[in-house]
Amino acid sequence: MSGLLRLVVAVGLTGVTVVQSGCLAVAAGVAAAGTVVYIRGELQASLANPYRDVITATGKALEKLQFSKVSEKGDALKTVIVARTGSDKKVEITVKKVTDSVTKVEIRVGVFGDEALSMTILDNIKQAL
């Protein structure tokens, strides 16, 4: 399924949930956890895990993939981790706290993106959780 089609399906399901439930908060919760889209070279995923756990899992995933961590800057709501692959591709992972139990992860590989490598990184983050 293409990234655009996944986005359209996710937006459509969210709209149905809003109409059916009459509650935007319920729709946001449904759309937030488990959503994965690839837009303009960036993989975006919402995970049903606490923010700090996702940051720790991201570090473990980078170690497992043998990427070199260049920097990590963050606070209580957002952390940006920059790493390099063995072939010197830049990987930027942004981890954002959405709620106490939902965290958004954004992964960009290089300037134009690499969907396959981004999915590999996300899969490794999920395995480390």
Q: Are residues 41 and 93 in the same domain?
A: yes
Domain check: are 44 and 84 in the same one? yes
Give the C-alpha separation, 63 to 40, whole Å. 26
Residue span of the structural domain in which 1 resides: 1-32
HSE value, Cβ hemisphere, 13 Å, CA-based, for 46: 15
Number of domains making up the chain: 2
pLDDT-based confidence at residue 23 (cuts at 50, 70, 90): very low
**Residue 40 and residue 24 share a domain:** no
Beta strands, E only, 1-129: 36-39, 42-47, 68-74, 78-84, 90-97, 103-109
Rounded CA-CA distance 115/105 in Å is 14
The CATH number assigned to the domain holding 38 equals 3.30.310.80
Q: Are 96 and 53 part of one and the same domain?
A: yes
Residues 25, 50, single domain; the answer is: no
Check residue 3 and give its pLDDT: 52
- In angstroms and rounded to an integer, the radius of gyration of the C-alpha atoms of the chain is 15
Say if residue 102 is in the same domain as residue 117: yes
Task: Find the mean pLDDT for residues 112-119.
Answer: 96
1-18 tens-digit pLDDT: 555 455 545 555 444 343
Q: Are residues 6 and 55 in the same domain?
A: no
Whether 93 has a pLDDT exceeding 80, the answer reads yes
- Do 37 and 25 lie in one domain? The reply is no
Task: Summarize the confidence of residues 69-92 as an average pLDDT.
Answer: 97
Task: Grade residue 39 by pLDDT with cuts at 50, 70 and 90.
Answer: very high
| One domain for residues 15 and 78 | no
pTM: 0.74
